[in-house]
Structure 1
Amino acid sequence: IAFSLIEEQEGRRRPLDDYISFVSLLADPRYCGISYEEKEEVRVLMRQDPKFWTYRPMTELMIRAAADDVRFLLYLYHKMMGKLNQRSLWHLAVRGSLYCRCLCCMNDTDFANWPTVPPLPDNLKIGDQFPEEEILSVLDVPPGKMGRVIGRKGASILAIKEACNAEILIGGAKGPPDKIFVIGPVKEVRKAEAILRGRMIDY
């Protein structure tokens, strides 16, 4: 979330793909500027053998790679937080709250008793110009329709993300497999909903 907000803050479009490479973050001079060749070596080994991380005892390479994954995280966190302005920090709090709901939501009422999302701070209310309210929408995908929504090699879902200024998350690793989560300004979420529902219709 923070990475996407920094991209937007610096005048770049938010990434359409919600996957962010840890190695790329480390190599980015805005954050670390560190070449992590050993991690690339581990990736090659993982592609060659998907069971790479299951072997015991762990090799020295495995131990170093696992430790590095953790020891750089706090540094990256502080670098990112230092780049976020007040508006982006508020968006981070809101989107973080909404993202958490995606992970455990089974229906629209599952988070009815959750705390409300962080309110807009007074210092961001400047006349009629202030950030739009952001919401979470949960869409149920009928059996057999998820493939149509995602499209070949993800082409369909990427096109929808391109058309809407909203985060679109597919269930599965991020929640129930038969649901799609849309996070963003109300107008953009409603636009995404309409397009997504259109992809689910039988022709």
Structure 2
Amino acid sequence: MKLLEIQTSVRQDRSVTRTLASKFIYQWQAYHPKAQHYLRDLGAQPPALITNDWVAANLTPASDQTDETRALLATSDTLIAELFASDRLVLGVPMYNFGIPAHLKAYFDQIIRVGHTVDYNRDTQTFEGRLTDKKAIIISSRAGKYTPETPESAMDFCVPYLQFILSFLGIQDVEYVEVPYQGMGDDQQQKATEASIARLMELAKTW
């Protein structure tokens, strides 16, 4: 079994999502000692933004690809192969300005490709994701409280977007663990953090 950890925080030592993901993966590996763990650190090494030339290369049939177009798509091909080779995904995603980090959006732009990660049915005009045999956990931190069915929930463009994108890619089995928001009292923050860690430890047993 292979676990792909995708980290998106630009912080390293002080990243809450990195810390909780590390705790989860350490515990998960205790139950799966033969499992392989790979890290894709988008916060430290952001993928390139797609360009006009990239789009043109992506739309070029395989039989017409050249060394130049293949070079433009090389990063995308690598990231896609990495996804298909993985059985489990752990995403550490802090909310930045109510949405996902820009480098995670760049990552999705690199990997969401018709004929590679999704199929398009012209008759029904529908998409079908190819990553149907994966499970994912989203560990998300934020500096505010966006409880469902509250006015603040309308400002959360992070987790709903992630859930849609993963489903679009074919990943339906998704767990979500929210890291307590900043602004709580120290005692409340500590208790809430411990509860999030406890949930991750429970997920590690069966995930």
TM-score interval (norm. to shorter)? under 0.3
More strand by proportion, 1 or 2? 2
The structure showing larger relative contact order (alpha-carbon pairs under 8 Å, at least 6 residues apart) is: 2
Higher gyration radius (CA): 1
TM-score if structure 2 supplies the norm length?
0.25
More helix by proportion, 1 or 2? 1
TM-score if structure 1 supplies the norm length?
0.25
